[in-house]
Amino acid sequence: MIDILPPDAVQQLQQTLDPERFTHSVGVMETAFRLADNWKMFPVDRVQLAWASLFHDCAKNLSKDERHRWLNNGPLPYGEELVPYSKIVHAPLSAKILQEVYGIHNRDVLMAVAYHPTGHPDLAPIGWMVYIADYLEPGRSYFSKREEYLHTACAEPLEGLKLVTRLRMEAVRHKNKTQHPLAVKFQQYLESLESLQVQQT
Ligand SMILES: [Fe+2]
Ligand SMILES: [Fe+2]
- Find the 117 Cα to ligand 1 centroid distance in Å: 6
CATH number of 2-192, picked from 1.10.3210.10, 3.10.129.10, 1.10.110.30, 3.40.50.300: 1.10.3210.10
63, 138, 172 from 126: Cα distances, Å: 28, 19, 24
- Find the 14 Cα to ligand 1 centroid distance in Å: 16
- Find the 30 Cα to ligand 1 centroid distance in Å: 16
Domain locations in the chain? 2-192
Residue-level pLDDT, tens digit, the chain, 201 residues? 899 999 999 999 999 999 999 999 999 999 999 999 999 999 999 999 999 999 999 999 999 999 999 999 999 999 999 999 989 999 999 999 999 999 999 999 999 999 999 999 999 999 999 999 999 999 987 778 999 999 999 999 999 999 999 999 999 999 999 999 999 999 999 999 999 989 776
C-beta separation of 79 from 105 below 8 A:
no
Integer Cα distance of 154 and 147 in angstroms = 10
- Find the 39 Cα to ligand 1 centroid distance in Å: 23
- Find the 139 Cα to ligand 2 centroid distance in Å: 10
- Find the 113 Cα to ligand 2 centroid distance in Å: 9
- Find the 80 Cα to ligand 2 centroid distance in Å: 19
pLDDT for 115 equals 98
Closest ligand relative to 28 C-alpha: 2
Integer Cα distance of 94 and 109 in angstroms = 11
Closest ligand relative to 23 C-alpha: 2
pLDDT for 1 equals 85
Backbone dihedral region for residue 104 (phi beyond 0: left; psi -120 to 50: alpha; all else: beta): beta
Integer Cα distance of 177 and 201 in angstroms = 33
pTM to 2 decimals? 0.97
* Orientation of helix 157-174 relative to helix 181-192, angle to 10°: 150
Integer Cα distance of 116 and 58 in angstroms = 12
* Orientation of helix 90-100 relative to helix 64-71, angle to 10°: 70
